[in-house]
Amino acid sequence: MLQSVWKSWIEEEARRECVLCGNGLHSLLVQMQNKGSDEVETLKTKFLSVWHNVKYSWALKSKTSFSRNSPVFLLGKCYHFKAEDDGGVTETCFEASDEDFVMGNAEAFRRDFASRVWLTYRVELPSLPSSTLTSDCGWGCMLRAGQMMLAQALILHFLGRDWTWSEAMTLQPLDTETWTTTAAKRLVASLEASLQGSPRPSDDGSPPMHQAQAPGCAEEADAHLKEMYHRTLVSWFGDSPSAQLGLHSLVRMGLTMGKQAGDWYGPAVVAHILKKAIEEAMDPGLAGITAYVSQDCTVYSADLIDSHRAPRAGQTSAERSDAPPSPHSDQPTSASTLSDSRAVIILIPVRLGGEKTNPDYFNFAKSILSLEYCIGIIGGKPKQACYFVGFQDDSLIYMDPHYCQSFVDVSTSDFPLQSYHCPSPKKMPFSKMDPSCTIGFYSRSAQDYERISQELSKVLQPSAREKYPAFTIVQGHGRDYDLSAGVTPEKREWPFIRDPRRTVTTAGDFVLL
C-alpha cells in the first residue's frame, strides 16, 4: 500500500516537473518493490530528498526592483543608483543578467553584494550527526542564515569591509529550467546509487589552507593572499563532518541543546550554536576570534571585554599568536592579532514585537544595518529564515538560503566558489519580517568595543515611538545582577540555555512577560 502511494506521487511529480527523468524514476520504483520492508524508512527519506530538491531548485527569475531616488544600504555601506544627469526614471529592476548599467554606483553595489558568502540548502551530503538525513532541505534555513552571518564576521576579521571578490561580476544568473532538470537527473542518479549500495561522498580530512602561487609583485601578493583567505574561509563552512563551521558541526552542537537534524532552529538557538562552534573550532586560523551571546536582551560590557582579553580554555598565548594576521595592508595591525587580545562576534537575540513585528522598530533596524561593524540580522518570515544585509526605503534586502545545490568537496585546493556567492539580491517589506531575530556585530578589540558601545547607546536611546529599546548595554558583569535569582530550572526559557539532560520542549525562542 505504502509503495503504491509513493509510486503514484512520484510519477505525478515526474510528469509535472521533471518529465525527462520519468523513466529513471520508474526504474527506481521497480527496484524499490524488490527491497525489504526494513528499508522503507530509508527510501522514504530518499524520496523526500527528491521532492525537496525539485521544490528548492526552482530559481524564480523575478526581478528585484530598486528605486533610483533612494539610497541603498548594504552592511554599513551606502549606494546611490541615480546618476547626476538621470532624470525622469524613478525605478529600475535589478538582475544579474542585465547588461552592466552605469547609474551612480549601482555596479559597486552589485559587486559588494555578490562578494558576500552565500550558504544554501545542499544535497548528497555525508549523513548528518545522529541521523540518516543527507540534506538540510526544508529545515536548515536558519542554520544557513547563521552561517552567512558568521562568514561576514570572518570577512571583516581577515579581509576587511572594503574587500570584494575579483570574480563577483562574472556570476551567472540562476537558470530555472537548467537547474531543475539537472537537479532532478542528479537525484535520480543518487537514488540509484543508494539502492545499489554505493557509498556516499565523504570527507574525513580537514580542509587545507589553500595556498596561493608565488606572486610576481606586491599587488599580486596581496591579491593572492586575500584569495587564500577567501577560499579557506569558505572551506570552514563546507558540508562535511570535519569542516570547522559546517552544517555537520552545527547540528552536532545542537544535539547538546536538545535539537536534532530535521528540527526547526530559531534565531536565538542558532546564536548559541554559533558561539559554541566558534569556541570549539580547532583550526589555528580561528584562534583569534570568539563569540558572545547577550543574556535576556542585555549586553554586559565587562563580560564582553573579558571575552576580548581572556584566552580560550587550555590555550596558551603562543598558540593564540599562530592566528593569521589581517591580510589587508592598508590598515594597521589590529588588536585581534596580538597575543593578549582576540576579536569578538557579538550576537544579540531580540524580539521586535509580539506576534507581529512592531513597525516602530524599523528605524532601529535601519540604523543597525547602516553600521559597518554590523554583520547583519538573521530572522525572516515565520518558519522561513533568511539573512538580512541591508535596506532601501521600507524594504529589507536579504540573502535567501532556500535554494537547493549539490555537495561541493571543499577539501580540494581548487573547489569551485561560484555556488557560494549569490548574483541577485531579494527584497522584503519590513512588515513581513518575523519579530524574533538575532542581530550581529563584529568587535576587533576591547578598544573597538568601547567605540561600538558608545555608538549603539545612541541608537538605542528611546524615542517617542520606540518606548522600549530592542536591547540594552549595561556596565559590569552579568553575575553582578544575579540573573539566576528566583529562576528555577523548570522556568528557564530561551535565550537562557536549558540543561541538555532535560527534554522539556518550548514553543519558541522567547517567553513574553
- Comparing CA positions, the residue from 141, 487, 494, 484 lying closest to residue 351 is 494
Instruction: Give the span between the Cα atoms of 113 and 90, in whole angstroms.
Output: 22
Catalytic (active site) residue 141: yes
| CB 509 within 8 Å of CB 267 | yes
Q: Strand 384-392 and strand 77-79: pairing?
A: unpaired
SS3 label, residue 308: helix
Q: How far is CA 479 from CA 15, 151, 310, 482, in A?
A: 62, 31, 17, 5
Annotated catalytic residue within 137, 141, 374, 404: 141
Mapped onto helix, strand or coil, the DSSP state of residue 353 is: strand
Residues 121 and 179: beta-carbon distance below 8 Å: no
Per the annotation, the verdict on 386 as an active-site residue is no
Query: How many Cα atoms sit within 13 Å of 117 on the Cβ side?
Result: 27
Task: Please count the residues of the chain.
Answer: 513
Q: What one-character DSSP code corresponds to residue 471?
A: S
Q: Which three cell numbers mark 215?
A: 606572486
Residue tagged active-site, from 224, 328, 402, 477: 402
Q: Find the distance separating the first CA and the last CA of the chain, reported in whole Å.
A: 49
- Active-site residue (options: 203, 400, 448, 509): 400
Would you call 379 helix, strand, or coil by DSSP?
Answer: strand
Q: Outline where 135-204 has alpha helix (H).
A: 141-158, 176-195
Cα dist from 7 to 11, 15, 27, 30, 181, whole Å = 6, 12, 11, 9, 20
Helix axes 446-459, 362-369, angle to 10 degrees: 150
- Which cell numbers in the block locate residue 231? 577560499
What is 30-99 written as a DSSP string?
A: HHHHTS-GGGHHHHHHHHHHHHHHHHHT----PPEEEESSS-EEETTEEE----TT--S--EEEE-TTSP
- Is 402 catalytic? The answer is yes
CA gap 348, 117 in Å, rounded: 21
Nearest alpha carbon to residue 227 among 150, 166, 172: 166
DSSP state of 246: S
Active site residues: 141, 400, 402
